[in-house]
Chain A
Amino acid sequence: MNRQEFLTQMQDVLQTDEELSYETALDDLAEWDSLAVMATMAFLDKEFGVKTTMKDYKEMLTIADIAQKAGL
């Protein structure tokens, strides 16, 4: 998965119409709630084999931080 595909997939994970970029601040997204965090955890696990915990997300500020966890 390349960086553009990652953004497209995150669009679906967060079910948002808002155009995402790597700079998008998670707290600015109305969709960024606890269910979205759990959906992101499932996404990273399934697509990248990366296990994350709720605690990891407390330190993440942008989409780029999620991508970094995925190794992108």
Chain B
Amino acid sequence: MISFNAEQRFIVTGASSGIGEGVALLLNELGASVIAVARNVERLSAMKAKAKHPENIFIEPKDLAEDIENLPNYVKSLKEKYGKFQGLAYCAGIGGIRPLRAVEKETIQEIFDINYFAPVFMAKGFADKRNNNGKGSSIVILASAGGVRGEPGMTEYSGSKGALIASMQSIARELAPSYIRVNCVSPTLIQTQMADEIARTYAEGKYPMGLGEVSDVANMVIYLLAEQSHWITAQNYIVDCGVI
């Protein structure tokens, strides 16, 4: 049985909606303290209002796409405010389908900023041993099945997630001697706000078990953050009911 205590602090990014919200709420329900990071303070407050132990949810409004190189200092400032961290669940991300003919360097950059650069620099901040609890600390990054299998219109998104998965494997092996684990979870389309109409239409009929739900992904993330997965690192888990 997975459980945490309030002294185990987890940074959850993208915590105001979708999978990030699901991870934040489940961590909190299981006893952990959650530092909830997202852009929109109202939506973060709405998430906190749903929490089982709202006193253990700490809201930190922040746009991770801004001043990305300084994210390690941002993690440090959170550590100084709350204490060392047990885990990081990076669930912030943007999607978007864009056919190759519409791809521009700028549009690639925009996707890579939040889907690739920000998680790498958040991991850099978390991995600084002055900021984490050492042995047993865990990073889980939300990647995507699109990172291992490109579909039409996903040049930018798949590129960002594929790069992310590859870099996280490298980071995992770099941190393994310190017993700090790094894993990716890669869902396909999940019923969230990010799954817009185009995506739903595209996915219709493709999923033998129906579209996935937030809890399907959140449970995997929680397992990888918890002590129960202490021998698992450098992996990318695809959560897709066998589609890809």
Q: Interface on A for B, CB 8 Å cutoff?
A: 15-17, 31, 35
Some 8 contacts from A to B, beta carbons below 8 A apart, are A15-B128, A15-B129, A15-B130, A16-B129, A16-B130, A17-B130, A31-B129, A35-B174
Chain A residues contacting B128 (CB-CB under 8 Å) are: 15
Cβ of B174: which chain A residues have Cβ within 8 Å of it?
35
A35 to B, closest residue via Cβ: B174
Q: What range describes how many residues of B lie at the interface?
A: under 10
Q: How far is the CA of A15 from the CA of B175 in the complex (A)?
A: 13
Residues 34 to 87 of chain B near chain A (Cβ within 8 Å) = none
Chain A min CB distance to B215 (Å): 36
Q: Which residue of B lies closest to A15 (CB)?
A: B128
Q: Note all chain B residues with C-beta closer than 8 A to A15.
A: 128-130
Expressed in whole angstroms, the minimum distance between the Cβ of B158 and any Cβ of chain A is: 30
For the complex with contacts A15-B129, A16-B129, A17-B130, 5 further pairs of A-B residues with Cβ separation under 8 Å are A15-B128, A15-B130, A16-B130, A31-B129, A35-B174
Could you say which residues of chain B place their CB within 8 Å of the CB of A31?
Answer: 129
Map CB proximity to A onto B123-150 as digits: 1 under 8 Å, 0 otherwise: 0000011100000000000000000000
